[in-house]
Chains A and B, each alone.
Chain A
């Protein structure tokens, strides 16, 4: 079945780095745009980053621009989020999500999320 599985979360000190991964299965990964979305504890959803199916177009929320990098490896059906210069306010559950039919579309499949805690 169509599935996204995130990994790589954990506890990191402020200023540190972490790389999240999202393994995709059950669909042709290379033909879909992908996203990262986060949710701080007890808060709502915040879109974080987008990568086009061809990997050349990337967008970031202002809150993470210059610190986070989204990438994909279609040979491994895997999406990544490299997070540098982490701050306490980056503490959240991070979800990867699949774009629906078009590049700029709703998110039709979500992973279960991975928790990132930034704390000293």
Chain B
């Protein structure tokens, strides 16, 4: 099984500042990597697929990068509505999620 490891566990960022989340795969997933946002009490929402392609309707401040085993999700200017838990997921070999990174306002 491919294990996905996210860091940090919690990220505190001031409004308008940049937030960078990391995700590492235990083996190469090429670019078969997605990012999801889950706000409290809500279902997850697809943000990024193919490691760097924004899903429909996702604001441009969200960007994804990386390939192979190392990936990042960047929120260029954090807004209050971005407070959520973010999960990475590989879909190269079945489907596995990282443990999540909680983003909060500093």
Contact = CB atoms under 8 A, between A and B. Distances in A.
Interface of A: 35, 37, 44-47, 50, 59, 95, 100, 104-113
B96 interface: yes
Interface of B: 34, 36, 38, 42-46, 49, 55, 87, 89, 91, 94-100
A50 B46 CA distance: 18
A45 B49 contact: no
Contacts of A106: 34, 46, 49, 89, 91
A89 B96 CA distance: 18
Nearest to A95: B43
Contacts of B96: 47
B100 A59 contact: no
B76 to A, nearest CB: 22
Given A106-B91, A107-B34, A45 B97 contact: yes
Contacts of B44: 37, 45, 95, 107, 110
A46 B87 CA distance: 11
Contacts of B45: 110
A100 to B, nearest CB: 6
B46 to A, nearest CB: 5
Contacts of A108: 46, 49, 55
Nearest to A99: B91
B52 to A, nearest CB: 12
A92 B98 CA distance: 17
Nearest to B99: A44
B8 to A, nearest CB: 15
A35 B27 CA distance: 23
